[in-house]
Amino acid sequence: MSANAIELRDVHKSFGKTKIINGVSLAIGKGERHAIIGPNGAGKSTLYNLISGRYEVSSGNILLNGEDITGLRPFEINRKGLSRSFQVTNIFHNMSVYENVRCAVLWAAGYRYSFWHRVGGLRDVQQRAEEVMEKIGLARRRNVLAGTLTYAEQRALEIGITIAGGANVILLDEPTAGMSRSETARAIELVRSVTEGRTLIMVEHDMGVVFGLADRISVLVYGEIIASGTQEEIQANTAVQEAYLGAAHKELADA
């Protein structure tokens, strides 16, 4: 029985006296596409920050592929095969698209802190970066300064940086936030193709995206998981309907 990709065991997180995450336990299997939904302020971003090491847990354990990663620093977790994107685009604004992607490739390609390799001559890095840029559809914009890209392009680059290192567990934080319908459709396709064969955890508000992509869904309300299961199970769950779907109930029923 292979280990789960991600496992949270009774995770708590407080900032001072404010409890944000209140005993979350979750298991996500390898290759699964899992969505986390919930009202604003439920603690979804905090949960991400805990998993990726940006914040420290107040108590509880987080396991990655069976290994305890509680308390490790972000770069250590990243090196173990977990990568995340950000809700607010977090790219290297002063570098070109190509350079952005290349930064994400360097460590995984094994070059570490080398100051004796000429980065322009590294064929493997170049090739990998080209592949990623092709996948995210920015190959023709490779020399454009990342800060001057359009919003949707920046979101695509965001995803590109996240997957470039070849991580097996990918966390996407609202990948389609702020996108139009057509942009969202393209983003869904992009996410589907780049996470082929990998484990995907996704925070999303757009139910269309969630139901289109996710195998299983968890609902986070006030720092607790109140339901976890397939699309049908979630739609039928009365607690979820009460707590979350008041106005969005109609959207769920129609989806």
Partner 1 sequence: MRYEPLNLGRWIVWGAMALVFIVVPLAFSGGFALTMLIQMGTLIIFALSYNMLLGQGGMLSFGHAVYSGLGAYLAVHTLNLIGKGAFPFPVTLLPLIGGFAGLLFGVLFGYVTTRRAGTTFALISLGIGEMVFACVLMFPGFFGGEAGVSTNRVVGQPFLGITYGPAIQVYYLVATWCFLSIVAMFALTQTPLGRMANAVRDNPERAEFVGYDTQKVRFLQLVLASFFAGVSGALSCINFEIVSSENVSALRSAGVLMATYIGGVPFFLGPILGAIVFIFFAVALSGFTKAWLLYLGLFFVTVVLYAPGGIVSILLMQIPVLRAGRLRELLWPYALAAGAALIAMVGLIGIVEMVYRLSEQGASTVLNVFGMSFDARTTAPWIGFALILAAGIVALRFASRLVGARWGAIQQDLLARQP
Where does this chain touch partner 1 (CB under 8 A) — which range of 32-40, 56-64, 111-119, 240-248? 111-119
Comparing CB distances to partner 1, the nearer of 18 and 143 is: 143
Q: What is the 3-state secondary structure (H, E, C) of 185-220?
A: HHHHHHHHHHCCCCEEEEECCCHHHHHHHCCEEEEE
- Beta-carbon count within 10 A of 166 CB: 14
Comparing CB distances to partner 1, the nearer of 132 and 227 is: 132
How far apart are alpha carbons 159 and 71 in whole angstroms?
A: 25
Q: What does DSSP say about strands 67-68 and 82-84: parallel, antiparallel, or unpaired?
A: unpaired
Q: Does 98 bind partner 1 (CB under 8 A)?
A: yes
CB-count burial class (<10 Å; 0-12, 13-18, 19+) for 118: exposed
Report how far apart the first and last C-alpha atoms of the chain are (Å, whole number). Answer: 35
Where does this chain touch partner 1 (CB under 8 A) — which range of 13-21, 40-48, 84-92, 246-254? 84-92
- 8's enclosing H/E stretch is strand 6-15
Binding residue for partner 1, selected from 33, 102, 128, 141, defined by CB under 8 A: 102
x/- mask, partner 1, residues 33-52, rule CB under 8 A, reads -------------------x
How far apart are alpha carbons 73 and 56 in whole angstroms?
A: 9
Binding residue for partner 1, selected from 70, 90, 168, 235, defined by CB under 8 A: 90
Q: Does 148 bind partner 1 (CB under 8 A)?
A: no
Comparing CB distances to partner 1, the nearer of 71 and 246 is: 71
Q: Which residues bind partner 1 (CB under 8 A)?
A: 52, 54, 73-75, 78-79, 83-84, 86, 90-96, 98-99, 102-104, 106-108, 111-120, 143, 161, 164-165
